Each structure stands twice: as C-alpha cells, then as structure tokens.
Structure 1
C-alpha cells in the first residue's frame, strides 16, 4: 500500500507514458495500415485482421495486472511492456515488405509483431492504470483521467503529423527510419517520465505475518464474485461497444447521404474528436474544481455522457431520414462531446473501484476491464460496418441501414447508463474492510507529494 499520492506533476508524467503508448500504437494501426493497402496494394482485410488480433492478445491484460499486483512496484512491468511494444512495432514494420514478396513468412512475422504489440499494450497500459488508480487522490481522479487521455490523444496527433511529414517521399528505408525514431523517442520519454515516479507499496504485517498471496484464478474469481465489479465489467463492454461501432461508418454515412467529399468527411471526423477533447476537459476541470471526483458525481457524469451519446445517435438516425437539411456538423460535435464526458468519467470511476480491495487487487481489476474494452473495440467497428452492409443488402437503400445501426448504438448507450446507475452508490473502503469476507488490511494516512 502506498503512503503517498501523486501531485499534478506526477499525473502529467503518467500522461507522458500514456502518450508514448499512443504514439507507438498509432504507428502500426494507422501508418502501417495505409502503407499495406496503398503502397503495397495488399487487401484491406489484412491490416484490419492484424489490428483485431492485437486486440485479441490484450485478453491477457488480467494476467499482466495480476502479475504487477504481486510485487511492491509496477514500474518494471510498465517498462517491460513499453520495450515489448517498441520491438513489436519494429518487427511489424519489417514484415511489410515480406508480405509483398514472401507471403507465408510475411504473415508469420506480422502475427509475431502484432502479438508483441498487443502484449506490450496489455502489460504497460494495465500496470500504468493500476499505478494511476493506486497513487492518485480520490478528488483528483476525474482530472487525472482527463489529463492522461488528453495527453494520449495529443501524442497520437503529434506523432501522426511528424511521421507523416518525414515519411514523404515514401521508401522502405524512410519507413524503417521513421518507425525506429518513433519507437526510440517514445521509449526514452516513457523511461524518463517513470524515473523515480512510483512510491513502492508497503507490505503491512497482519497478525504478525504478511497476508498470503493469492493466485491468478482465485483473484479473478474473487473480483467477479463482487456485484459492483461484475456489473462494471458489463458496463465497460457495452458502453465501449457502442462507442466503437460508429468508428467505421461515420465518414461513409456523411459521404453516402450528405454528399461529403473525402476531405469534408475527414474534417467532420476531426470535429468529432475535437468534441471528445472538449468533453474530457470539461469533466476534468469541473471534477477538480467542484468536487466531481466523488463516486456519486462521477456516476452522474457517466450517466449524463451515456444518455447524451444516445440522444446524439438518435439524432443521426433521424438524419438518415431527413438528409441534407439536418445540422450534421452540430450533431457530430455533440456526439463527440458526450462520448468524451462518459469516457473520462468512466475511467475516473474505474480508478476508484479498482482500489476497492486495496492496491494488491487493482492490477487484476484494471486488467479485466481493459480486456473487456479491448473485446468491445475489436467487435464494435466490425459490427457497425457489417450491420450497415447487411442493412443495405436487405433494404436496398442506404438510409434505413444507417438508421438501424445508429438506433442500435443509442439503445446500447441507454442500457450502459442503466448499468452505471445500478452500481452501488457507496463503496466505503472502511465498511468494506470490516466485512468478514474482505481481506484484512490497515489504512495508513496519506500525504500528498509535491
């Protein structure tokens, strides 16, 4: 258990690590996607399948989180994950020319590379979130979630801009140099940000001996037996499924029904992400300035964000019928804003619930929720796109297909809002520790680090 909490500078440093993770993931999920399809004329399904595979590998998150729970430091797990992620990114880059020349070997190398990326994100990301949950004061959790996720988005944006400018005119040598530079800079930034950041958790003596360690299976069963944790896992899956279903269909929607050009639809997507950032900033600011870090307040933000997302998606369903007369840009910005509100508030609530059984359980909890999110992201885009394709084939028109998918997303967000409200309103750590089934532990006073 930690005797200190992180100050604002420490939270920003964790945000830098999150930025480094985002930068390396962008390299393979965005840049390599374009290179495979455009420069090497490979089927679009190939990079899409590899990205889906890297999400599947992240089902290992609970195991990584449980591993980081067993020691008194999470930093080694984060550094290991970052190293694995960097090496996996470089292996994936080297697989690209092999895919065009020696297909079987190329597939093998690509799967190895993307497996390392998924495992690296799982190890580093899960342990980083557990560190954030364990060493950030409750009243700062909403702001901490906003800061770290905003920095991750900024890291992706900056890396995309820099890498995009350096890779032209394209050549395999330039791709290798840019990828190596991104991986090296991101890894070094993460190392510097982590240096001396973590306060080691102190193992407390209970009844003259340390509490026995719990195996992975027992820890997982213990978590899923808890009603709040189990309901929150379902909430994360459903809300992130709804969140990601729109990813693959918004730009085609704008092009097919509103006659947007590729440039205009890309700008529309940028405005949506701008709305997400504004929503994150609003929750972070109000959460810090007006005591929004309490469980009840975070729950209100979550429910409000989910309901707002449902309303915005219902608006898009109506837009599919109304057509060009509908204020599409405003609708998309409001959707992004509501998405940002619910996402950051959910992360803040996740950090609070992660520590409900003490820091020795926060890693596996973050791992389970991270795995649930990864499954949702992997399925969401696919379900949205396939749903539109099936709808267009059955209805013989575009508008009914988009209407059905957007309405389905709205319904998922409403179910997620109901689940968020159903989680207990108060999970008092003192009361929990008094429970006969709770692990024995001692609460130490906390002091805020400068």
Structure 2
C-alpha cells in the first residue's frame, strides 16, 4: 500500500507548519535584530547560518529513518524541537533589548534547536514521501506539499505582520508562541497512524552511514545533482536575510509592513509553484528542466528590478518582490520534483539517506548564501549608500541564478538528470 492523495495532503500539513515556524526566525526576528536593535546584519546572518549548518546532520536523520522502520517518530520529534527552538529564538530577541549577552547565548541555543528540528523532521518527512509515493505521483506530491508549505509561510508572515504593529516584545512572544503551539498540534494530528499499512520497511541489513553515503556519492546522477543544488540554492537564499532590512532602510517600511512583504513574496512563490503543478500534472506543459530554467532566469530579472528601483527610489518594492517570489516558486518546486524523482533511483532503501544528502547540500547553500549576502551588505554599506550596497548584492545573486539556469540546461533532461557521460566528460 502506498500514500494516497489524502495522505500526501496530511504530510503537506506538516510542511505547512514547518514553514510557518521557520519564516518567523528567518524574516521577522532577523529584521528586528537588524533594524530595531541596530545590530549588524552579519550577526543575524550568523545565527541563521548556524541553524542551516546544523542541518548537515540531515543524512544521519535520513539514515536513521531508513533503518528504524518508523519515520513518524522522527517527524514529530523534529517538529517539537523546532517549535521550542523558534519560541526561544523570539525570547532571545526580547532579552537582547535589555540584556544583550544572555539574549545572544539563548539565541545560539535556539537556532541550534531550530536546525536540529528542521533537519530531523523535514528529512524524515521527505523520505516517507519518496518511499511511499508511487513514482508517477512524486512530482505532484512535491508540488502539493510545497504549495502547502508556502501557504503556511505566506499566511503566517501576513497574519503575524498585521498583528505585530505596533510592535512590543510581549506581542511578539504571544504571536510566536501561538504559531509554534498550533504547528505542533497540527503535526501530531496529521501524522497520527499515517504509516499504518504503508510499504516502508527498514533495510534488513543496514550498512554503516558512511558506507551508505559513499554508495550514493558513487551514483553520477546523485553526485552531480548535489552540485546543482549547492549553486542554485545559494542563489535562492542570498536575499533571505537582507530583503526585509533593505525594505526598512531604503523604503522606510515598518516591522509589520516588512513581515507582510515577506508574506507577499511567499504568495508569489505559491502562485509560481501552483503554475508548475498545473502545467506538469494537468496541462502537461513543459519538462521539469524548462520550469527550472524559466524560474532561474525570471528570478534573475526580478532581482535586477529590485536593485534598480532602490536606486531610482520608486515605490515598487511590493510588486517587484511578488514577481521574484513567482519565479522563485517555479524554480523551487521544479527542482524539488527532480529531487523526488532521483531519490527513488539507485539502491533501494536509500531514499532517506539520499534526500538527507541533498537536504544537507541545500542547508549548506542556504546558510552560506544568507551569511554571504548579509556580510556583503554590511561591508558595502561602509563605502556606499544603503540602496547601492544592497542593490549590488541583489545583482550578484541574479548572476548566480543565470549560471544556475545554464547548469540546469546541462544536467537536466526531460525532467530527469542526463546520463553521466554527458555531464562529466571522460567519466
């Protein structure tokens, strides 16, 4: 027995809860540290990079879920860790108002927990989907669950943004606490007995983790796709920590307005993902490669526009960000669809470890991209205006997206990775 559509939607509810909790730490709390507390952007960048760095443990969590025969326990345990970490991160920001160092120590602990929780729960969730979803449904399953995640991100950012003004620390803690508690309850209800009757047996003679990783790394498709994930996700995440500060410093938006801006961006991501889902599963328009390339090039164009409107002081930040979100969504869901397809290839019972490897690559790229973007913005503001400094970072990100599009043309073919011989000459 495999996952039906209802089961896929139930797992999507977990992704929705995960997205809602994570967006608070990467957007709202980040903006409060940079603008309201006047801390260097690189500090919040380091904290977010820390939570991504911890996610290099994703292959380990995937391996554990491959071999234990019960992925639900890792999903729920991860989400509980994430919920507690997200609330402690908000408390850390509040403490920084009056006691900086205790607040910073608490924030470090909180972001460690966020990374562990997201890695544990997210990897096990994707592994369950890759293992128990029929191959012809995997692209659609990826679309559904990521649409629900983006809906959770957009709804949380928009709602919290509307309720956060006028900002007070007490209001922040109440809102974050409500989001985290609600997300954990949804996770428990959504995963209750979901694995009953599913085909998700553990590997009968599990090999050690490092041996399993070596086996996967020996697969040309898996190896080269890992490099693509590193580059493209670096481009995807470079703006994550600087977009809201940019909107606040250059366009004068309030904390609530910039949080709502993040919601508008993710609403665009939702529409972009929906377009791919309809095009792929309903209208049969375009291969996954075409959607990946279109998403990369469109994202590059939108980022260029975001940089230029800051220079020209045009009040077009909201539509520009929505457009960027639209193309980001196209790229992301098409890339995830390719990942879901490739996860089921190669040696059986390695789906979790394979998804963990790519999840770790994504986490490294996200942490590196976010940190580099924040550090570059901090450095450039010492020599140029805010609009110019941030604009240069956006333009560099656009260049990376163009390179990613060229790489996708090279390594993806008809929605599947191209044969290894066409990717690495002489192999």
Same fold (TM over 0.5): yes
Counterpart among 371, 394, 397 of residue 409 in structure 1: 397
Question: Which residue is equivalent to 1:280?
Answer: 273
Q: CA deviation at 1:135?
A: 2.4
TM-score calculated relative to the size of structure 2: 0.81
Q: CA deviation at 1:393?
A: 5.1
RMSD over aligned CA atoms reads: 3.9
CA displacement 1:158-215 (0-9 Å, x = unmatched): 34455567778877666555544433321121111112222443559xxxxx853111
Are residue 387 (structure 1) and residue 381 (structure 2) matched? no
Question: Which residue is equivalent to 2:225?
Answer: 232
Are residue 355 (structure 1) and residue 341 (structure 2) matched? no
SS of structure 2 residue aligned to 1:360: coil
Contact conserved, 2:297 with 2:402, CA < 8 A, in 1? yes
CA displacement 1:51-100 (0-9 Å, x = unmatched): 22111111111111111111323111111112222333344455556656
SS of structure 1 residue aligned to 2:350: helix
The runs of 5 or more residues in structure 2 that have no matched partner are 421-427
Question: Which residue is equivalent to 2:234?
Answer: 241
Counterpart among 34, 54, 59 of residue 57 in structure 1: 54
CA displacement 1:340-362 (0-9 Å, x = unmatched): 11111001111111111255111
* 1:23-422 → structure 2 map (5 Å cutoff): 23-33=20-30, 41=37, 43=39, 46-93=43-90, 95=92, 106-160=103-157, 178-198=175-195, 199-201=197-199, 203=201, 212-250=205-243, 260-262=251-253, 271-291=264-284, 297-314=287-304, 323=312, 332-357=321-346, 360-391=349-380, 396=384, 404-422=392-410
Larger Rg: 1
Q: CA deviation at 1:122?
A: 0.4
Q: CA deviation at 1:15?
A: 1.0
Quick one: distance in 2 between partners of 1:318 and 1:161? 26
Q: 1:171 to 1:185 in 2, by over 3 A?
A: same
Are residue 17 (structure 1) and residue 14 (structure 2) matched? yes
CA displacement 1:380-436 (0-9 Å, x = unmatched): 233234334545656x5677656654443233223222332333648999x99xxxx
Quick one: distance in 2 between partners of 1:128 and 1:68? 9
The runs of 5 or more residues in structure 1 that have no matched partner are 205-209, 433-450
SS of structure 2 residue aligned to 1:214: coil
Contact conserved, 1:80 with 1:124, CA < 8 A, in 2? yes
Contact conserved, 2:288 with 2:415, CA < 8 A, in 1? no
348-357 or 259-268: bigger deviation: 259-268
Counterpart among 4, 8, 12 of residue 5 in structure 2: 8
SS of structure 2 residue aligned to 1:247: coil
Q: How many aligned residue pairs are there?
A: 415
SS of structure 2 residue aligned to 1:262: coil
Q: CA deviation at 1:336?
A: 2.5
